[in-house]
Structure 1
Amino acid sequence: MARIVGEVMTREVVEARREMSFKDVVRLLDRYRISGLPVVDDDDKVVGVISETDLIRRQAARSTGLLTRRLRLPPLGRSARRAAAAARAGTAGELMSTPAVTVHPEQRIADAARVMERHGVERLPVVDEEDRLIGIATRRDLLRVFLRTDDEIRREVHDEVLTRALGPSAHGVTVSARDGVVTLEGHLEHLDDIPLAIRLTYRVDGVVGVVNRLTVRVPSGPVGPAKGPSGPGPEHR
């Protein structure tokens, strides 16, 4: 069924310490050709994240500060003070964005992708139950899961949803997939099985939509009128 973050994360993580200098952070990003890294404390707990954006913002703030001093311009309020603080930042602890947005290894990849999109980040530090760094999940790691072929998706829906989860109730149900959209067609034994089949199909990695053509199987043979409670009927005079 759905894959989890721990299956796709990178376990060898390039990290920074709070006291690491601006130049050393830049060297790390350049050496490993990455665009960001987590910052950890002495207990390996994630305390922040540094991205190229943070570094560029620092350099831009320094340039603005130099120009302001050269021209003797008046201060610009709170935003100017924040820019001045960024310009003075010289260590990873001063440059990092905090708190860090993190995930746990047992979280579903689809959920991690939503977290990444919601916060507009390119990578998510993966932490254990004590917030210690154990891996990193990048946007590319998560997207690989959604690059499955339609045939792979169809087989998993058939094997895991119809055969394993629904069992005999799904006998005769057919499944097809095109561009990640799965179509379920046929008869199920029980009405409650229809939303269950749709929900489980959506949880299969790579599925982007479900077309529901399922109905409830009608029992064979004539169906007689419903009988009321047993016992003598009303007396007619």
Structure 2
Amino acid sequence: MKKWTIRDVMTTDAVAVPEDASYRTVVDLLAERRISAVPVLDPTERVVGVVSEADLLYKVEFAGTAAEHRRFPNRRRPEREKGEGRTARELMSAPAVTTGPDTPLPAAARLMAEKGVKRLPVVADDGTLVGIVSRADVLKVHLRPDPELRRDIEDEVLRRTLWLEPYEVQVEVDSGVVTLRGNLDRRTLAELTVRMVGAVPGVVAVHDHLSFDLDDAELARSRWGRSHPFSTTDPST
């Protein structure tokens, strides 16, 4: 089964600016490309920071507040310094939050959520820029067509991984929501099937209508209770 990574969804024609790019150059680039942030590169083409719309807005926020700055020089100093910045080096947020092209999509989504960023520069092992991935790019996996999802589930999960026959599990997919029906010999196999189908990239939810003949999970717990040295179960009962 294909494991989707950043490489599968990232934009490879990423734009960036050098550290000495002017404020106006950055503003014009964001407007022209309709993007909300741009990576900043050092002379060796490595990503050293990111300038976002939020960074640029400090110049608007603090315009005309020189007198207040003199009275309260330490109030919001980092933001004020960005408001006075003229180059990408002075405006950028650093260090940049980046990811690699082989990062799994769930890991990238968690990173974006934890850091509160909308896009990530994608860098090679040497730190050079190879692409950009946005929240919208990460969500592309959920745009996979239902027939494609069904093929992945039936061929990669049920047949090749779990070795199930076609008649044992019936698969329906509607807008990424998977419904499983059928009868399997063991409860643990049924639960494993649901977990593995839920992990297929693009699956939104799994409706489990599988039945089973043997509750081997309960049987295992019962045997553990009778045989474990710390069990309080009376073997004679």
8 Å CA contact retained: 2:56, 2:83: no
2-structure distance, mates of 1:98, 1:154? 43
Q: How many Å apart are 1:189 and its aligned residue?
A: 4.5
Tell me, yes or no, if the aligned pair for 1:169 and 1:189 is still in contact at 8 Å.
Answer: no
Taking the aligned partners of 1:193 and 1:128, their CA distance within structure 2 comes to 40
2:73 & 2:187 partners in 1: Cα distance?
A: 65
Alpha carbons 2:58, 2:80 under 8 Å: kept: no
The equivalent of 1:40 in structure 2 is 41
- What are the superposed Cα offsets for residues 112-157 of structure 1, whole Å, 9 maximum, x if unpaired? 2232233332211111223221111122222222123333322321
CA distance 1:11–1:88, change in 2 (3 Å) = same
Distance 1:136 1:203 in 2: 25
| Structure 2 counterpart of 1:90, from 86, 91, 95 | 86
Offset at 1:191?
4.4
Write the distance in 2 (CA, Å) between the matches of 1:39 and 1:199: 41
Q: Equivalent residue for 2:122?
A: 126
Contact 2:5 2:102 in 1 (8 A): yes
Structure 1: gaps of 5 or more residues: 219-237
Task: State the TM-score, normalizing by the size of structure 1.
Answer: 0.78
The aligned counterpart of 1:67 is 65
Please state how far the C-alpha of 1:74 moved relative to its aligned partner: 2.5
1:19 and 1:93 in contact (8 A); partners too: yes
**After TM superposition, what 4+ stretches of structure 1 lie above 6 angstroms from structure 2?**
none
Residue 206 in 1 paired to residue 202 in 2?
Answer: yes
Alignment of 1:97-108 (within 5 A): 97-108=93-104
For 2:127 and 2:165, the matched residues in 1 are separated by 43
**Residues 165 and 44 of structure 1: is their aligned pair in 2 closer, same or farther, counting only changes over 3 Å?**
same
* Sequence identity (%): 39
Distance 2:20 2:118 in 1: 24
1:161 and 1:171 mapped to 2: Cα distance?
Answer: 14
Shift of 1:23: 1.6
In the TM superposition, 1:77-226 aligns within 5 A as 77-79=74-76, 81-168=77-164, 172-217=168-213
Distance 2:34 2:145 in 1: 30
1:168 partner SS: coil
Partners of 1:169 and 1:190 within 8 A in 2: no
SS of the residue aligned with 1:200? helix
Rg larger for: 1
CA 1:53–1:109: 2 relative to 1, 3 Å: same
Q: State the alpha-carbon separation in 2 of the partners of residues 39 and 205 from structure 1.
A: 32
Instruction: Please list every run of 5 or more consecutive structure 2 residues that lacks an aligned counterpart in the other structure.
Output: 215-237
Q: Alpha carbons of 1:216 and 1:124: their partners in 2 closer, same or farther (altered >3 Å)?
A: same
Residues 41 and 48 of structure 2 are in contact (CA less than 8 Å); yes or no, is this contact kept in structure 1? yes
TM-score by length of 2: 0.78
The 3-state SS of whatever aligns with 2:201 is: coil
**2:221 aligns to what?**
none
CA distance in 1, matches of 2:166, 2:104: 26
Q: Which amino acid aligns with 1:67?
A: T
Aligned residues: 213
